[in-house]
Amino acid sequence: MLHNFDPAHFLTTHWQKSPCLIKNALTHRPEYLSAEELAGLSLEDEVESRIIRCDNNQWQLFHGPFDEATFDQLPDSHWTLLVQTVDYWLPEVSEFLKNFNFIPRWRFDDLMISYAVNGGGVGPHFDNYDVFLVQTSGERRWRVGRKDDISQPDSVIEGLQHVKPFDAEIDAIMQPGDILYVPPRTPHWGESIGESIGYSVGYRTLQTKDVIALLAGEFECPDVTPEVDAEDFALTPPTTESLNEFFTDKYRSKPNYSGKIEPELIQWAQKEIIKISNNQELITSLLSKFLSNPKIDSPDPVVSLPVNQSEKLHTIKMIDGVNANWFISKDGIIVNIEGETLGFPIESQPLIESVLSGEPLDIRALQRDHPKFDFSRSLARLINKGYFLTSY
């Protein structure tokens, strides 16, 4: 747990509103990767990495993968290495990420780790997402401006959302254990003092175009009803039949030789868009599935657990870092895990909430307290997909 920190107060006062510096938030600083190990990750083809350097106020951005010669040629100051999605490549960091579990998992994007030499940094910039900047070794000076007070320079390097100099509301030297929260569209600038390593816990957010793309994908290629064991649960897909109506123009009484777009067509399209927006069941289903999709595809599990063996389980616990969310539908509880949909009876809501919160589930107690609730087939499916730790 974070120290000197009240999640409820933070969410009310700062989340999405204003920056916040939390001194000595971590008593045990994370040390998952050294500078050399981070550089080693950036040599891999599958790993997203960048080097940003500044020479005589001229910024340069380089994308990985890199090679050892790249690092041999770098100067002694004013550059930084950034490696994305470290939470995927280094699952053990999930223990550190638990410090931020007061934000739902479906908001989490990735953990980026950066190494910087003296004077190194990204430059004065803004992001379109929430981020917790965690100082893990060395020191960095951070300056943070007012939210939405953004003025971009005339010349911007693609991939670097630089801003013009800004008035800092926070100007502090961060030391190991300190955390700085920066909301979206807030100018900030970090500069390393000597060598340093920092963790960036980023939180993605949806844009209007994402929702439209989800809807377009649904109508272009509707999902097949998820495979759910009939003995466990009957899952029906969201209703979309009423959204397949065709435009008609019975109103037409005069020729239209010039091809003018008629107000009746516009009114029909507006009505259909409103109809889609009012289909809460469809939108909830699409959002839930989309937000559970993994950022990087994981290999399929190779172990298959027979249903009768699942009945011998003592406890299960969801693996840290699994993308999962749930909602209540007309059929019961719908759970999306890593882009896959499962259905459960409404009576299972307390169990679902407990399991998806990362709490261990005592199977023997479940069978004792809920003798009529056959959870075994669903458990076998979830365990076979590699989402849970088990003990017998």
Alpha-carbon distance of 267 to 160, in angstroms, equals: 42
What are the helix (H) ranges across 293-343?
307-310
d(CA 58, CA 294): 36
CA 231 to mean position of chain CA atoms: 34
**What are the b/e assignments for 165-190, b being 16+ CB within 10 Å?**
ebebebeeebbbbbbbbbbeebbbbb
- What pLDDT is stored for residue 302 in this prediction? 40
Distances (CA, A) of 178 to 140, 198, 296, 320, 379: 10, 10, 30, 24, 40
> What's the pLDDT at 158?
81
Are residues 187 and 126 in contact, defined by beta-carbon separation less than 8 angstroms? yes
| Residue 116 to residue 75: CA distance in whole angstroms | 12
Q: What is the mean pLDDT of each run of 10 residues along the chain (392 residues)?
A: 90 96 89 91 95 93 95 96 93 89 92 97 94 97 95 79 93 97 96 97 89 80 49 54 79 92 94 87 89 71 44 74 89 87 84 86 69 59 74 63
DSSP letter string over 228-244? Answer: --TTT----PPP-GGG-
DSSP category for residue 96: H
pLDDT on residue 232: 46
The pLDDT of residue 51: 97
The Cβ of residue 160 has, within 10 Å, a number of other Cβ atoms equal to 15
Residue 302: C-alpha distances to residues 23, 232, 296, 382, 384 (Å): 45, 24, 18, 13, 8
What lies within 8 Å, CB to CB, of 165 at 6+ separation is: 124
Cβ-contact 311, 388 below 8 angstroms: no
Q: Which of 38, 1, 388, 316 is nearest to 199 (CA)?
A: 38
Q: What is the pLDDT of residue 368?
A: 66
- Omega prior to 187 cis, within 30 of 0: no
- Residue 373 is predicted with a pLDDT of 55
Phi, psi of 56 (to 5 degrees): 55, 45
pTM to 2 decimal places: 0.83
Please report the pLDDT score of residue 77 as a whole number. 96
Residue carrying the six token digits 């009957």: 234
